[in-house]
């Protein structure tokens, strides 16, 4: 939700700001804005639309200045329009602020300020905060940094803010709570952003600001940090491992397509150094210290949102099947508010690509407060969730830019499979031969995905046939049920076709009423324990004239004879099928969305990193 950038140094700020905002557009893209100080003049430009619209809107106007801030928005308070776009002015218009997050008590603060004569231009919570800060500065007659500190003590909610002031042309003030912020340290210059992607091309040295910390970022001086309770902190400088090439499209039309095609590599990266089928070992260094907690756990609770929640569902099958530990999979947003029962010997696995999802973060804090052990499965290194957990395993899928998650999902499932295998092995709930067989099968998955990717033309052909439907149904059983949910989510996210995922056998308790000759039904009908049952479900659809598009195991004849179209995937162990069967569904959604003229990488109303609840 919203991306923020800022620069102070000897170079022109604007080129970094605009490029940085483009990199952060996955976080929100309904409006954008920048502000720079040039020769004592504060120039603010903002408009509805994407970052490129902002750039075109600024055109030849003055973009000069070597201090500046920028914002790309995902609306929370107030519709996306020019006025609600950030940066927002203070009452005197001498300072501006950008903000990612939600100020929950902005209502009472606004009322209070209105009573004292403040007039607000926008509907945003952000404008209230910058007014409050200036109000405090004037009332208390304190330096701006101190006013920021006092104001933040009055704020309830989440924020990552940067303030630019005409009266302080050599200093930026940044602070965060609940929303991420990274400060890159260059040669006599600082780069600030919501994540490291805009920064990596300029410096590898970064400081991740912690919650309730304020950074005083002064030109030509050392970075200073203090907490909102006025405690000085020593900045902890870390080195970024991210590579610049990973952030480019690399010849693909869209990031989503690139990321789908990256899966053989990203899955290998998820397993690298953790799995050796030859030696018969699975090792997850990040959780070794907490392995005993897993071994003693009477229950695992998985918390996540969106696609990560679907990976959690696959993990439920894996942990119960292999490690014989009961698992509950929870939407983080529900878990956090329903007074859940959490025991001290529960292991909670939090899954998140971005590591910033607000609901997941809050659910972690809740489970932690009840004494449970929290294990993270995150993609973004150093993210808030990765830091909030006791231990964890990174998925190492590399930056995922397309808003619809693809390679992050398969990387999550890979890591969770390794985790379940490791625990099963340690608990002795899996035979040695089955363990070894699964390790070799897992190692063979990337090559099998390569083969699925080679069927792209056929998938595109099928996409063309169904691109104009209004509804679609996705069916699967057992390990393929979460894949059905994920397939449906991919389609609705990026092509805006209404799609539902269902356990195949549940279809007759409702969705079957929707089936007619217009309705495509995508069925995961690979060989395995439920194969015959799924075949019966296919017959039920056919009897109602529904169209069947089936994902089948190579060489299948039975389903092929019934289905309108089939997509073959290489045979693998039943418990690993989701890693392979999801890939054609990702491609199918991708092609349908492109054919419908949709913005695949930035679908309407969505954001990649949901840092608001």
Residue 383 is encoded by which pair of tokens? 């993210």
Under the binding rule (CB under 6 A), the answer on residue 514 touching ligand G6P is no
Helix (H, G, I), strand (E, B) or coil at 302: strand
Task: Please check whether residue 323 is in contact with residue 423, taking contact to mean a CB–CB distance below 8 angstroms.
Answer: yes
Under the binding rule (CB under 6 A), the answer on residue 608 touching ligand G6P is yes
To the query of whether residue 229 is one of the catalytic residues in this protein, the response is no
Which CB, 305 or 420, lies closer to ligand G6P?
305
Owner of token pair 């603060």: 109
Q: Closest separation between CB of residue 352 and ligand G6P, Å?
A: 3
Q: Please choose, out of 265-273, 279-287, 304-312, 499-507, the segment that lies near ligand G6P by the rule CB under 6 A.
A: 304-312
Under the binding rule (CB under 6 A), the answer on residue 357 touching ligand G6P is yes
Tell which positions 56-75 bind ligand G6P, by CB under 6 A. none
Under the binding rule (CB under 6 A), the answer on residue 373 touching ligand G6P is no
Q: With CB under 6 A as the rule, give the number of residues binding ligand G6P.
A: 16
Instruction: State the residue number with the nearest CB to ligand G6P.
Output: 306
Under the binding rule (CB under 6 A), the answer on residue 490 touching ligand G6P is no
Under the binding rule (CB under 6 A), the answer on residue 582 touching ligand G6P is no
Q: Please choose, out of 398-406, 446-454, 460-468, 582-590, the segment that lies near ligand G6P by the rule CB under 6 A.
A: 398-406
Which CB, 206 or 489, lies closer to ligand G6P?
489
User: What residue ranges in 289-346 does DSSP mark as E strands?
Assistant: 300-304, 327-331
Beta bridge partners of 173: 163, 216
Candidate residues 333, 373, 395, 405; the one interacting with ligand G6P per rule CB under 6 A? 405
Under the binding rule (CB under 6 A), the answer on residue 270 touching ligand G6P is no
Q: Closest separation between CB of residue 306 and ligand G6P, Å?
A: 3
CA atoms of 479 and 486, how far apart (whole Å): 12
Handedness of CA 285, 289, 290, 293 (dihedral sign): positive
Under the binding rule (CB under 6 A), the answer on residue 360 touching ligand G6P is yes
Task: Please check whether residue 592 is in contact with residue 491, taking contact to mean a CB–CB distance below 8 angstroms.
Answer: yes
Under the binding rule (CB under 6 A), the answer on residue 491 touching ligand G6P is no
Tell which positions 110-129 bind ligand G6P, by CB under 6 A. none
Q: What is the 3-state secondary structure (H, E, C) of 376-417?
A: EEECCCCCHHHHHCCEEEECCCCCCCCCCCCHHHHHHHHHHH
Under the binding rule (CB under 6 A), the answer on residue 352 touching ligand G6P is yes
Under the binding rule (CB under 6 A), the answer on residue 305 touching ligand G6P is yes
CA atoms of 488 and 178, how far apart (whole Å): 31
Residue 136: C-alpha distances to residues 81, 95, 110, 153, 228 (Å): 29, 14, 14, 12, 15
CA atoms of 545 and 516, how far apart (whole Å): 6
Q: Closest separation between CB of residue 406 and ligand G6P, Å?
A: 9
Owner of token pair 């392995």: 291
Candidate residues 403, 449, 512, 576; the one interacting with ligand G6P per rule CB under 6 A? 403
Under the binding rule (CB under 6 A), the answer on residue 586 touching ligand G6P is no
Residue 257 is encoded by which pair of tokens? 């397509």
Catalytic residue of the set 2, 305, 378, 598: 2
| Strands of 41-48's sheet in order across | 41-48, 31-38, 67-73, 3-8, 190-193, 182-185, 205-208, 238-239
Which CB, 354 or 526, lies closer to ligand G6P?
354
Under the binding rule (CB under 6 A), the answer on residue 90 touching ligand G6P is no
Under the binding rule (CB under 6 A), the answer on residue 52 touching ligand G6P is no
To the query of whether residue 268 is one of the catalytic residues in this protein, the response is no
Under the binding rule (CB under 6 A), the answer on residue 307 touching ligand G6P is yes
CA atoms of 491 and 501, how far apart (whole Å): 10
DSSP-derived pairing of the beta strands 498-503 and 327-331 = unpaired
Which parts of this chain interact with ligand G6P (CB under 6 A)? 305-308, 352-354, 357, 360, 403-405, 606, 608-610
Active site residues: 2, 608
């Amino acid at each position: 939700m919203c991306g923020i950038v800022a620069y102070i140094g000897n170079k022109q700020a604007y080129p970094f700001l605009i490029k940085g905002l483009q990199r952060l557009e996955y976080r929100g893209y309904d409006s954008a804005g920048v502000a720079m100080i040039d020769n004592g003049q504060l120039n603010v430009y903002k408009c509805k639309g994407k970052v490129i619209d902002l750039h075109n809107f600024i055109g030849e106007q003055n973009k000069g200045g070597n201090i500046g801030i920028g914002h790309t928005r995902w609306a929370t308070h107030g519709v996306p329009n020019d006025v609600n776009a950030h940066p927002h002015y203070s009452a005197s218009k001498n300072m501006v602020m950008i903000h990612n997050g939600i100020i929950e008590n902005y209502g009472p603060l606004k009322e209070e300020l209105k009573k004292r004569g403040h007039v607000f231009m926008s509907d945003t919570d952000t404008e209230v905060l910058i007014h409050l800060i200036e109000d405090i500065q004037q009332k208390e007659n304190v330096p701006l940094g101190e006013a920021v500190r006092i104001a933040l003590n009055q704020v309830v909610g989440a924020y990552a803010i940067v303030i630019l002031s005409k009266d302080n042309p050599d200093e930026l003030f940044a602070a965060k709570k609940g929303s991420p912020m990274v400060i890159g340290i260059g040669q006599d210059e600082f780069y600030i952003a919501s994540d490291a992607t805009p920064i990596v091309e300029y410096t590898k040295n970064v400081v991740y600001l912690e919650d309730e910390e304020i950074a005083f970022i002064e030109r030509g001086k050392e970075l200073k940090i203090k907490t909102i309770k006025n405690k000085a902190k020593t900045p902890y400088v870390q080195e970024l491992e991210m590579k610049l090439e990973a952030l480019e499209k690399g010849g693909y039309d869209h990031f989503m397509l690139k990321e789908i095609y990256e899966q053989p590599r990203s899955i290998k990266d998820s397993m690298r150094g953790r799995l050796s089928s030859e030696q018969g070992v699975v090792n997850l260094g990040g959780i070794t210290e907490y392995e005993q907690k897993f071994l003693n756990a009477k229950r695992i609770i998985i918390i996540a949102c969106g696609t990560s929640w679907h990976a959690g569902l696959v993990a439920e099958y894996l942990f119960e099947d292999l490690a014989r530990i009961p698992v509950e999979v929870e939407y983080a947003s529900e878990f956090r508010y329903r007074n859940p029962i959490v025991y001290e010997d529960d292991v909670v696995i939090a899954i998140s690509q971005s590591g910033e999802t607000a609901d997941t973060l809050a659910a972690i804090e809740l489970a932690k407060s009840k004494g449970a052990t929290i294990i993270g499965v995150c993609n973004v290194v150093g993210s808030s969730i990765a830091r909030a957990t006791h231990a964890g395993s990174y998925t190492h899928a590399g930056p995922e830019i397309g808003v619809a998650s693809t390679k992050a999902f398969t990387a999550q499932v890979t890591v969770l499979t390794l985790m379940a295998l490791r625990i099963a092995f340690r608990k002795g709930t899996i035979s040695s031969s089955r363990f070894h067989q699964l390790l070799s099968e897992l190692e063979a998955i990337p090559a099998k995905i390569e083969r699925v990717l080679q069927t792209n033309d056929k998938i595109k052909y099928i996409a063309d046939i169904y691109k104009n439907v209004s509804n679609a149904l996705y069916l699967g059983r057992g390990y393929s049920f979460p894949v059905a949910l994920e397939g449906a989510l991919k389609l609705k996210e990026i092509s805006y076709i209404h799609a539902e995922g269902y356990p195949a056998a549940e279809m007759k308790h409702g969705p079957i009423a929707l089936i007619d000759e217009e309705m495509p039904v995508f069925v995961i009908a690979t060989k395995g324990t439920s194969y015959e049952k799924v075949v019966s479900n296919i017959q039920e659809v056919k009897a109602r004239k529904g169209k069947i598009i089936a994902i089948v195991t190579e060489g299948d004849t039975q389903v092929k004879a019934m289905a309108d179209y089939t997509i073959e995937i290489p045979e693998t162990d039943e418990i690993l099928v989701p890693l392979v069967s999801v890939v054609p569904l990702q491609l199918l959604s991708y092609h349908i969305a492109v054919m419908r003229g949709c913005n695949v990488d930035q679908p309407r109303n969505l954001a990649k990193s949901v840092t608001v609840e």
